[in-house]
Amino acid sequence: MTANAYIERVISTLEEKHPDQKEYLQAVHEVYEAITPVLEAHPEYEKQAILERIATPERVISFRVTWQDDEGQVHVNNGYRVQHSSVNGPYKGGIRFDPTVTLSVMKFLAFEQTFKNSLTGLPMGGGKGGADFNPRGRSDAEIMRFCQAYMTELSKYISQDQDVPAGDIGVGHREIGYMYGQYKRLQGVQLGVLTGKPVSVGGSLARTEATGFGIVYFANQILKHNGTDISGKRVIISGTGNVGSFAADKATELGAKVIGISNITGSVIDEDGINMNTIRDIAANHAEDLSKYPETHPNATFAEGSIWAREVQYDVALPCATQNEISGEQAQQIVDNGVEFVIEGANMPSTAEAVQVFRDNDMIFGPAKAANAGGVGVSGLEMSQNSLRLRWTFEEVDERLHGIMEGIFQNIVDTLEEYDLGKDYATAANIYAFKNIAELVRIQGVI
């Protein structure tokens, strides 16, 4: 079979097997449509079923999470851990607590994570976990009971050498702290079994900032590769969580003007530059209600709905909220707004339609699996520090984060040249990561 016929056969088999797993199919499709030249150079990959083996998770764990709320009501949620690939080391990837969690979302994230982790150059396989639990409005005691119930089941499948979860949407220091405590109660002390830990219990300095900082380091590298840099640029960011808020801080520090930010309540445009202290205060004390922002910043405007639907002129878009947050129509609005650079902060924030619009309009596009790899990169550094039984300074970790993002960018640039890809950073990232993983699969035999 030709390379393309092999790819089409694998994709259509996956579609037949998993017709409801939209996000998973989307993620696999996006990678596999980029790798034709690699398969052409390796016709033996078909007989070895390399595409099937890379797309199919090694193990999917699905379990019930039962917990009691403060009124005594018992609830049941669906918990997951997808152990996607161990070819590059222990399964590694975050845990997400969000009502949108499904098996398809877990499988797409675990697949993406495998590629992302390989891009960091650190020895980490790929995994992802989570539950369809909505932490919004829950008391601290309820969060603790949920985390303990989730970890009671998960603890049977993870260890610091086999599978190392971290945080993601809905899971921060507090949740990792509770899950770490519960793991320890059940299995004994294993400092490296989770990353993103509170610094006082073995977490790494700069882990909280790492994803957002890394996105801006990567964005700046792309801008420089295109003859400019982020200083003086008008930037819009979706998401006020760790990713979006620290991306905003770093962009501002490097001289950009963040003129807009959004969360689930809506978006704010502030031509004076978004004040992140106000945003953090709203997140912590006002149920994230961004409509409060103009009360203290009268030049700003608030609107409900997606920030990507807003008509405003800017240069750089950093989608840092969640998967498929940019529709095709919104991508066209981004193009019409004169945006030149879209750098993905969230995992797969652009729908397939949006990616097509960006391609058709020659948008300079930084793919998530490269741009947001700084988070898991510093998780890798947290594992190193835990094994070494020491702690690096914030500056030292930040310096290494810089090095990781530069290394990723350099490998992408080398791949652009090798495959004559122009400025198609997404295809280059997919090719580079796929080549690495495919070789690791081959080397380790038929298992």
- List residues near ligand 2IT by CB under 6 A: 92-94, 113, 116, 166, 168, 195-196, 347, 375-376, 379
Which two tokens mark 319? 């989608």
Could you tell me the smallest distance in angstroms from the CB atom of residue 380 to ligand 2IT? 8
Question: 15: closest CA among 335, 365, 315, 7?
Answer: 7
Residue 409 in contact with residue 216, Cβ under 8 Å?
no
Which of residues 267 and 372 has its CB atom nearest to ligand 2IT in the complex? 372
Rounded Cα distance between 421 and 272, Å, is 39
Q: Cβ-closest residue to ligand 2IT? A: 94
Which of residues 171 and 416 has its CB atom nearest to ligand 2IT in the complex? 171
Rounded Cα distance between 434 and 432, Å, is 6
Which of residues 10 and 383 has its CB atom nearest to ligand 2IT in the complex? 383
Could you tell me the smallest distance in angstroms from the CB atom of residue 21 to ligand 2IT? 19
Residue 55 in contact with residue 111, Cβ under 8 Å?
yes
Which of residues 58 and 270 has its CB atom nearest to ligand 2IT in the complex? 58
Could you tell me the smallest distance in angstroms from the CB atom of residue 105 to ligand 2IT? 12
Strands (E), 292-424: 301-303, 316-319, 341-343, 364-366
Could you tell me the smallest distance in angstroms from the CB atom of residue 6 to ligand 2IT? 29
Which of residues 94 and 349 has its CB atom nearest to ligand 2IT in the complex? 94
Question: What number of other Cβ atoms are within 10 A of residue 61's Cβ?
Answer: 19
Which two tokens mark 83? 């152990």
Residues 6+ apart with CB under 8 A from 81: 60, 61, 106, 127, 128, 129, 154, 157, 158, 163, 165
Classify 70 as helix, strand or coil.
coil
Could you tell me the smallest distance in angstroms from the CB atom of residue 169 to ligand 2IT? 8
Q: Is 17 a catalytic residue?
A: no
Residue corresponding to tokens 């400019």: 228
Strand-pair partners of 350: 326
Q: What's the one-letter identity of residue 124?
A: M
Could you tell me the smallest distance in angstroms from the CB atom of residue 368 to ligand 2IT? 8
Which residue among the candidates 92, 116, 128, 292 is catalytic per the annotation?
128
Rounded Cα distance between 359 and 367, Å, is 12
> CA dist 205 to 208, 266, 385, 396, 398, Å?
8, 31, 10, 9, 9
Which of residues 92 and 234 has its CB atom nearest to ligand 2IT in the complex? 92
Q: State the catalytic residues.
A: 128
